[in-house]
Every structure is written in C-alpha cells, then in structure tokens.
Structure 1
Amino acid sequence: MAALHGGHLIAKQLRKEGVRYLFTLSGGHISPIYDGCVKEGIGVIDFRHEQAAVHAAEGWAKVTGRPGVAAITAGPGVTDGVTGIANAWCGGSPCLVIGGKSPLSQWGMGALQELDHVDFIKPITKYAHVVAETRRLPEFVSIAFRHALAGRPGPSFLEVPFDVMFGTADETTVWFPQHDRAQGRIHADPSEVRRAADILARAERPVVMAGSAVWFDQAWEALRALVETLNAPVYLNGMGRGAIPADHPLFFSLSRRAALSQADVVLVIGTPFDFRLGFGRPPLFHPEAKVIQVDVTETEIAKNRDVEVGLVGNVQAVLTQLVNELEAGRGRRAESAWLETLRGVEARARAADEPFMYSDQVPIHPFRLVREIRDFLDRDATVIGDGGDIVTFGARVIEIFKPGHWLDPGALGCLGVGTGYAIAAKLARPSEQVLILHGDGSFGLNGFEFETMARHHLPVVSVVGNDGAWGQNKHPQQRRFGHTVAQELSQDVRYDKVVEALGGYGETVTEPSQIRPALERAFAAGVPACINVITDPTVGYGHSGAATH
C-alpha cells in the first residue's frame, strides 16, 4: 500500500464517519486535508471568515443531527473560529474543528503563526488534543467524534502540527477505527419512571416544556406520543421547535408564562433551567409546582432549582418509558378545562398582535413583515434567526412544522450565525426553502458569506429587518437613560446591493404590499438573495412579549 500524507489519513477517517462536507477557509497549515477530501469524495466549502466556517459545521449538526467538520489554519485561523466553537459548546451541538499548528520541530522557536491553541480551546470543548504522530490521525479523529456525540453533545478540537499534517504513513500500519461506538440507548431507572408517571397521571394542570435534546436524541415521535397520552400542552424552545407541528392541537407558544406560573406539574425535557426559563424559579414557575426533569446529563438535573424526579438517559428512550408506563396505568387523559384556559390565553394574545400583523403602516411594522414571511413559506422551509428584536418578532409569529427546521444562536446569543447555518442547511436540504431572518446589525458580521453562497451555487434568501439600529439594546437604553449611545445604524444602507455585488439578487422593500412579491422574486432568482425591508424604527419588542412604541 502507498504512503499517505496526514491530510489524506484524516479525510479517509472522515469519510468512514459519514462526513459529506468540510467547511474551511484556505490555510497553508491544513492544505493536505483538501487534497485528501478531493481523493475521498468529500466536498470542500471554503468561506471568507473562519467564524462562519465553524458556524456552518455547527449548522450541519443542527440540520442533520450528525457532527459537522471545520478545518481552520493555525494562529489567527483558530482564534477567528473561537466564537463558532463557543456557540456550539453553549448550544450542545456536536462538531469537530481541526486546527493547524506550527511544526513540532520548530516549536518555541517563533515559527509562523505559532500559538498554543489547546489551552484556550479546552474550556469550550468536550475534547481538545494535539496529535503528535501522523499514523494516529484517524484514531484521534474517531476519538474526537466519540466525545462530540457522547452524553450532551458538543464540539471537539484536534490540533495538527504542520509536520504531522504533511508527514506520511504506510496505510498498512494505520488503524482506521470502524466499530468504535457503544450501541443502544441509555434508559432511566424504571422505579423513577414509575414515580414520574404517577405524578403526571395525577396532575390537574400539567405542562410539558421541551428543548434541543429532543432533536439530537431523535425523540420527536416519542414526545408527540407523550403529550397526546397526557393530553397536556407542550411548549418548545431551541432545537425543540418543530418537534410538534405548529398546527397540532396540543402545541402552544403564546401562553407559556401563564401556563408555567399556574401549572401544578411541569415536565422539563432536554432544556436547561437557564435565563430562558427564568432559572426554573418563581415568578415564572409556580412556587408549589412539582417539576420532573429529563436530561441526558446527570449534572443538568436540579441545576438552579429542586426537582421532584430527575430522569437521566437518552431522551427518546426515557420518553418511550414514560409513555409505556402511563398507557399501562390510566391510559390517555380526557380533554380538560386547563387546555381551554390556555387556548383562551393564546387567542387573546393573537388578537392583540393581529392589528399589527395586518397593518398597512409605513415604515413597515415588524409584525407585518414576519406575518408575510409566515404566510409565504412552505411547510418544510428551514428558518434561521440571526438578529435581536426582529428574530423575537419572528419566533413569535413564524410557524415551524418539522423538527430541525428552526435554527437560532441559542443560549450564547451569538450574532452572525445566519450565513454559516444557512449554507449548511441548503447543502443538507437543496430542494427546500432556506430563509435567514436577519437583523440589520447582525447582517454586518458575516454578510460577506453571500459570496460563498454564490460561488457554491447555494440560493439562500435573507430578509433583513432594517430598523437602522441595534434595536434590542436601543429601546431599553432609551427607556432607562433617556438617550441612546452606540445604538444607531442607518436605514439608508443597501444590504440588497451588497448581496448583488457579491453575485446575488437583491431589492429594497418600503411598502407592506411589496413584501410577498419580493419573496416570490427572491426565491425564484436561483441565486443568493437579500430583501432589505425598511421597518419602523420606533417599534421594539417589549419584555412582556408585546410590541412597544
């Protein structure tokens, strides 16, 4: 057998792992990987900034459930990618980032782009390691994948020195791991499942709150069976959105605060008690509510609050256990007054929003913009939120019907994820609509990746809510201090012209009646497209969940 260089060894193992694309920005330290990918039939998608390449690797995980892979060069290449790695860490997204490194033979001598990456990458990864031998590269790729996927998913990082990457090894001496993962799913303790089922069966005002682990553990069918057995309202956040279709009679969204503050039993599935859930405490949660928590990681159980029952295991497996236990006991619950109460809350909230969603005012009300998007999109469209206020409006109105079809930055609140996520989504779902809902501020972070889309023939559509400000900060600052500083942008910026210059299609919209025709033209263009929508700069999204003026 021939001697293979390090990049080819990496690519061979990536192919064994089922990797279809490598996300990267050109770098000399990592160039052998590109040669290996060509030889192994792995597509190479090259970006204009390493942050966006790593966001794409995370985006691939978010839309496929399988780790995405990014390769970034030494020194500034790795530091540019840190934000993407941190976002994947906070979001629990499995991915592998391969970083270049100065030659081991020159380490400490002041080699080009010499930097010890592992020390500052370790705190934001599940696994970070320097590979010192060329022949062991496939083994460490396998180890990195295993860490990324074990328990709560997350990013892994491999640092490959220049002389290891360019070095060679006889293929006959190299181990390419194939049967290197535990099979099967971890189930919760049966006695604890029975306790949880008994509490749920006796609940008068049950609520189910489910998050990203439902997606990564492929538990959407089990979740649906559970809520239908309980006949309980279900609320979704993060990558959990779409696990229950938006038109399912037990899916609720606008009544979450009312539901959690009145519930006697809350089942929290695969989502942390972080700021998005008020840390699991009053006033968002009823002070006497019994809480049952399901999570893949034991350390997440009872984080920030006490729980009545903690169930640890694969989310699909645990929910199936709960369904079986409930059906073996009391069977399916009947319709309750509790559901009707919450439907009333939902109806009143929708009625309050409706005048704004159908408003003909100019500048355009953001509620009108996101309602037009909602009404236009196909049922299987993938929507990516990358912004502040405009994404909050969008999350309130735009309906998601399939799991893994809503992507947002997650708990880190990282702006600039949109283009990387969208590139991954369009590669994974080439025949489906992919739309980025951009804030005008967030567009500026990685907007140059529209050139990447054009070069790789990926017709993604971006709708920019252009209010000429960092709106999510501007309005609270104005209320608190009576003035704004460092919050103003300009509504005269032609984001559509930027995309045109990068090889795409663009237009600016100033009238509500122009929104749908613009969406039709953008999706028909066959190239990356941007609709620059001038929205009312006086409207912000209030903390209470209503538009403020």
Structure 2
Amino acid sequence: MGNLIDGGEMIARMIKQEGVNHLFTLSGGHVQNIYEGCLNNGIQVIDTRHEQSAGHAADGYSRITFKPGVCVVTAGPGVTDVVTAVANAYQASSPMVVIGGRSPMREYDMGSLQDIELQRVMEPITKWSQTVLEARRLPYYMAMAFREAMTGRFGPVFLQVPSDVLFSRVDEDQVHWPRSYRTQGEVMGDPQLIKAAAQAIKQARKPMIMAGSGVFWHRAHRELAEFARAADVPVYTNAMGRGTLRQENPNFFSLSRKPAFSQADVIVILGTPIDFRLKYGRAPAWNPEAQLIQIDVDPRDIGKNKDFGIGIEANIRQALLQLTAEIGKGDHGEWMQYLRGLEGMADAQREVFMNSDAMPIHPLRLCKEIAEFVDDETIVVGDGGDIVALAASVLPVNNPGQWMDPGPFGTLGVGTGFCMAAAVAAPEKKVLMVNGDGTFGLNGFDFDTFVRFKMPIVSVIGNDRCWHQIYVGQKAQYGAGRTPATMLGDNARYDKVVEGLGGHGEFVEHPEQIKAAIARAFDSGKPACVNVLTDPEPAGVKGGYEFK
C-alpha cells in the first residue's frame, strides 16, 4: 500500500508538472487543502483582496509565461466573484484554469454552506466546465483542463471540486498520473490557399496587415517581421499583438490605420476577430472593394461579420513561414511612403498637445512623460478607458507581452491582477500601470497585496474626475448637463489610499511635476501611486464611445 494523499496534493502536483510556480486565490475553507499541496510542491500562493483580482492575475500570468495561469476560489460566492475575470479571459482567448470549491456531494441539495451549482453558470464563458466526482480521477481531470485551455484557440476552463472529493485521502499507488496529454504540434495552412494569398498580396497595390493576439500566442513575432519585410507591407497591431513588431521597424505603422483600412485593396487579418474594434469590416471604415485574407487557428472566426476572399485555418506562425517562402519579394514602396507621410502629419498634430503646459494637464502630455520610463525591461498594464487608448498610441511598446490590457471584453479593474502576475512571473522587469481614476476604485485595494508580497509596482492615474469614455458619448448624444452617473469626486486622493496601505503616493497638478513624481515612485522601492489631475475635456482628443 502506498502513501495516502488527498485531492489538494494531487491538484498541486499536476500544477507543478505544468511548470506553473504560482497560484492566485482568495482564501476559503472549501479549498484550503490545495494550499497545503502547494506548500508541499514549491508553489507560491498569492492571495488577493477579491476573487476577481485573482482571476485577472491568472489571466495575466498566462500572458507573461505562456503557461496556464491557475486561480483557486472557494465555493458559492467565491466562484461568482471570479466570473468577470473568466469572461474577460474567454473573450481575450487567454488560457487559464479556474478551480472552484463546492459544498460536499453528501450534502447535495440540503442547504449546506454556499451550496449552489455553478458548473453550468461557467459553461458559456469557458471552453470547458466540469465537476470531479471521484478523488482518484483528479489528476485525469486536471490533465483535461490543461489540454482544453492550451490547445486550439486558447481560453479559460473551470473545474469544480466538491469538498468531500477534495479532502478524500486515497492510496497514491492507485492514482493514474497523466504525463503526456496534449500535442505540441502546429497546424499548417492549406498550400493552395497559402499560394493564392501570397499572390494576392504581391499583386496588390495597397495591401495591409492587421496583426492581433494570435500572433502573440503563437509566438510569431519574428515570422511577422520577416514576412512584412519580404512582402513590403505595412503592419498595424491590436490587443496582445502590440509589441510583436518593434516600432522602429520600417513596416510598423499605427497612426495611419484609419485611412489604410479605407483605401487598402488587400487586407490581411492575422489572429484577431473582425469585431467592433475593426468596425465589423464594414464600409466606409473598410474599402468595400478590398479583398480580405483572414488567417486564424479557429475556423469559426473566419468569415464572421465579413465575407473573405481567402480564409486559412492555421497556426499563425506556420502560416507566416509558408507565406514568406511563397511570396519572394514584394514592392509596395509608394503605398508605404504615402502612409508614412500620413503618420508624420498625425504625429506633428499631437506633438502640440504632448508638449502642452496647460492646466489641467493634457492627457497626451502625461503619456509623453510616462513614455520616458518605458524601456525594453518594462511591462506596461493598461487599465482604463481613454487614457489607456492614448497611452497605447504613445508608449514605446517593442516586445511581445510588454503591453497588457483587457482585450475585447473591455473589463475595467484588470490592472492590479495583471500587475501582480507580471511582478511574480517576471521579477527582473519594472511594472508600470496606466490607470483611469474610475478603474482604481474597482480593485485598488489590491495595493495591499502588492505591499504584502513586496511588489514595487508603479501606477500612474490619469485623474479626470469622471468616467470619461462614457461621459463624452453621453454628452454627444444627450447634451451638456445631461450626463448623470459619469462624474467622480474632485478631491479623490488615490495616492493617500495607497500610502494608507503601506505604499508610496504622489499627487501632481502641474505638468512640470510629472517626471520627478514618477521617478520618486520608482525610486521608493514600494508599490506606488502617482495621482495626476488631467483635463476632462482635452483639446484635440475626441475620446469616448457612443452607444446607439
């Protein structure tokens, strides 16, 4: 007879086998023996102040490490509290494993503590949602969870474990331990479709590429650069695609995206859905005569919202390797020169605001000052609305995974979770968070988590005293003075909140104070908040989002 081990030990061993060294949680009795298993197996437990933060941390961990982030939450409200984070990961195709506690099966439907069935609640927002009913099968179910999260289009999974199953002790010799349970292969594109796509791009007068999160998840940044160089095509990026092409690369473009879409005759979409961010592929945002070449690992997204000319189901890295081998040498210099001219004009226009000494501080001036602290050894987390959109267009993001934001679900409050994941998974990096003032109020108390785990994360808040992205659209639709529920307090001292939690705080009202304040924040060696008062109606920035 072998040693007796419980479910917490089995789960921890499977997590360790995946090379995952951190687990994110908010403590709960239904799952507490998983923590014991983590201690036994050298897995650091990071406990947060809200389950949503733990879920976002697991999402962020996967983006930094390319390994499945793991979040453990207790039964009932522990699981419901993590739902938003799971939905965000689902929309962003981010692989994470959520393990949820449950009341014991022997007390099923008797009204025990936190007794509610949540497997079906999680089904619409996960790739896979299951309940384990027998302790010895826990390793088997963990293997299935990791496989589902990390194959095909990545995404979150949910595993519910009743407490009597989790705390059961079984003979270790009677447990099957899966070792090899998912393929590492990469699907190549159909050769005929690849050939047709290469010909269409080469023969086009005005081709363009939009590179999204699929380029990041398939680690295709080198292949993207090589193909763009060979094809002589402009590349734009979104979501986790940001940083997959260095900004000094001659094929990198950003400020001319709108005219590029409206004028291009061949549009290549790499690993990103044609959703609201891409105007659903509709005119006048897109040239209605343009040929669409769409490449994605998930064929269900190919042709969604927009008819394609060529649709290729493939791993993005493999497809780019095939296209590069097929295309030879393209020549679109005139088109590239035209777009570069547009970029120069747009940059000159915003330069005025980036150098503005106006008060309240122009948000583009704030972004310019933040940019001085972003180098290749910095991870930037965007958690907000318009201030994050502006930061994304200004900050020098030049490496895969260097920029993290919510993605298409647009969840506010992801920042603290993403930051703690970056701090533990890449401790050699600086971590800088760009916040809106609204977002700070969602999960800001996890600065306590930063303090407890000695994470010197710096948050810079663009404090315009309102929910600006909503305020702008609401004002445009209904008029000035008809914007209820959009205004925040004029005197909110988020920096003082962080100081009260044991961190460092800075309050900035004048543009010339920004740089020194951020420098002091980094030099403090503590979690820090730089609270910067910005203009709620900045010149030259439309911002907002109109819901009609």
TM-score bracket relative to the smaller structure: over 0.9
Given that residues 472 and 540 in structure 1 are in contact (C-alpha distance below 8 angstroms), is that contact kept between their aligned partners in structure 2?
Answer: no
- How far residue 542 of structure 1 moved from its aligned partner, in angstroms, is 4.8
Which residue is equivalent to 2:42? 41
The yes-or-no answer on 1:370 pairing with 2:345 is no
Structural mapping, 1:297-336, within 5 Å? 297-326=298-327, 331-334=328-331, 336=333
Q: Bigger shift: 256-265 or 176-185? A: 176-185
Which structure 1 segments of 5+ residues have no match? none
Letter in 1 for 2:239: G
Paired residue type of 2:386: D
Structure 1 CA distance for aligned equivalents of residues 332 and 217 of structure 2? 31
Partner of 1:508: 507
Distance 1:376 1:81 in 2: 33
Structure 2 unmatched ranges of 5 or more: none
Post-superposition offset of 1:38: 0.2
SS class of match (2:205): coil
Supply the distance in 2 between the matched residues of 1:131 and 1:387 (Cα, whole angstroms): 38
Correspondence 1:182-261 to 2 at 5 A = 182-261=183-262
2:402 maps to which of 405, 421, 429: 405
Q: Which amino acid aligns with 1:362?
A: M
The answer on 1:495 being equivalent to 2:528 is: no
Could you tell me which amino acid in structure 1 is paired with residue 42 of structure 2? G
SS of the residue aligned with 1:447?
A: helix
Alpha-carbon contact 2:274-2:280 (below 8 Å) kept: yes
Q: How does 1:82-101 map to 2 (within 5 A)?
A: 82-101=83-102
What per-residue deviation string (whole Å, max 9, x for no partner) do you get for residues 254-281 of structure 1? 1001011111111110000000001112
Letter in 1 for 2:451: A
Partners of 2:539 and 2:138 in 1: CA distance: 51
Q: Which residue of 2 aligns with 1:529?
A: 528
> Where do 1:324-403 residues align within 5 Å?
324-326=325-327, 331-334=328-331, 336-403=333-400
Percent identity over the alignment is: 49
Measure, in 1, the Cα distance between the counterparts of 2:84 and 2:184. Answer: 32
Match status 1:436 vs 2:433: yes
Distance 1:439 1:492 in 2: 15
What are the superposed Cα offsets for residues 5-43 of structure 1, whole Å, 9 maximum, x if unpaired?
Answer: 110110011111111100000000000000000000001
Do the aligned partners of 2:205 and 2:332 also contact (CA within 8 Å) in 1? no
Shift of 1:212: 0.2
Q: Report if the CA contact (8 A) 1:63-1:425 is conserved.
A: yes
CA 545–438 in structure 1, closer or farther in 2 if over 3 Å, else same: closer
What displacement does 1:421 show?
0.3
Could you tell me which residue of structure 1 aligns to residue 144 of structure 2? 143
Give per-residue Cα distances to partners, 1:384-428, cap 9 Å, x unaligned: 110111111111211201001111111111000000001001111
Instruction: Give the letter aligned to residue 387 of structure 2.
Output: I
Paired residues of 1:6 and 1:137 also in contact (CA < 8 A): yes
> 2:458 maps to what in 1?
461
Q: CA-to-partner distance for each residue in 1:276-311, whole Å, 9 max, x for gaps? A: 001112111111101101100011111011111111
Q: CA deviation at 1:318?
A: 1.0
- Please say if residues 472 and 541 of structure 1, whose CA atoms lie closer than 8 Å, have aligned partners that are also in contact: no
In structure 1, what residue type is equivalent to 2:379? T
Measured against aligned partners, the alpha-carbon deviations of 1:299-345 in whole angstroms (never above 9, x if no partner) come to: 1111011111111111111111111111xxxx222451101110111
Describe how 1:474-485 pairs up with structure 2 within 5 A. 474-482=471-479, 483=481, 484-485=483-484
8 A contact 1:380–1:402 mirrored in 2:
no
In 2, the alpha carbon distance for the partners of 1:38 and 1:136 equals 22
Is the Cα contact below 8 Å between 2:386 and 2:543 reproduced in 1?
no
Partner Cα separation in structure 2 for residue 45 and residue 52 of structure 1 = 11
* Structure-2 separation of matches of 1:232 and 1:137: 49
The residue type paired with residue 446 of structure 1 is N
Separation of aligned partners in 2, 1:86 and 1:436:
22
2: CA distance between counterparts of 1:146 and 1:417? 25
Q: Which of 449, 454, 461 does residue 446 from structure 2 map onto?
A: 449
Cα separation, 1, equivalents of 2:313 and 2:158: 27
1:134 CA displacement: 0.8
Query: 1:490-528: per-residue Cα shift (whole Å, max 9, x none)?
Result: 231110111111111011011111111111111111110
Letter in 1 for 2:305: N
Matches of 2:452 and 2:299, distance apart in 1: 45
> Which stretch of the first structure deviates more once superposed, 375-384 or 349-358?
375-384
Can you list the C-alpha shifts for 1:140-179, whole angstroms capped at 9, x where unaligned?
Answer: 0110010011111000000000101111111111111111
Per-residue deviation, residues 153-207 of structure 1 (Å, max 9, x unmatched): 0000000001011111111111111111123211111111111111111111110
Deviations 1:99-129 (A, max 9, x none): 0000000001001000101111001000100
Match of 1:17? 18
Amino acid at match of 1:430: P
**Does the 8 Å CA contact 1:107/1:114 hold for their aligned counterparts?**
yes
Query: Aligned with 1:376: secondary structure?
Result: coil
Asked if residue 518 in structure 1 is aligned to residue 517 in structure 2, the reply is yes
Shift of 1:379: 2.5
Q: 2:239–2:407: 8 Å Cα contact kept in structure 1?
A: yes
Indicate conservation of the 8 Å contact 1:65/1:215, yes or no.
no
Cα distance in 2, alignment partners of residues 405 and 30 from structure 1 = 33
- Distance in 2 separating the partners of 1:286 and 1:146: 40
| SS of match in other structure, 2:342 | helix
Q: Is the Cα contact below 8 Å between 1:505 and 1:530 reproduced in 2? A: yes
1:275 matched to 2:280: no
Preserved CA contact (<8 Å) 1:466 1:533: yes
Q: Which amino acid aligns with 1:471?
A: H
Find the aligned partners of 2:235 and 2:92 in 1 and give their Cα distance: 21
CA distance in 2 between counterparts of 1:257 and 1:263 reads 10
- Paired residues in the alignment total 542
Closer, same or farther: CA 506–138 of 1 in aligned 2, 3 Å: same
Query: Contact (CA 8 Å) 1:235, 1:256: kept in 2 or not?
Result: yes
- 1:541 and 1:446, CA in 2 relative to 1: closer, same or farther beyond 3 A? farther
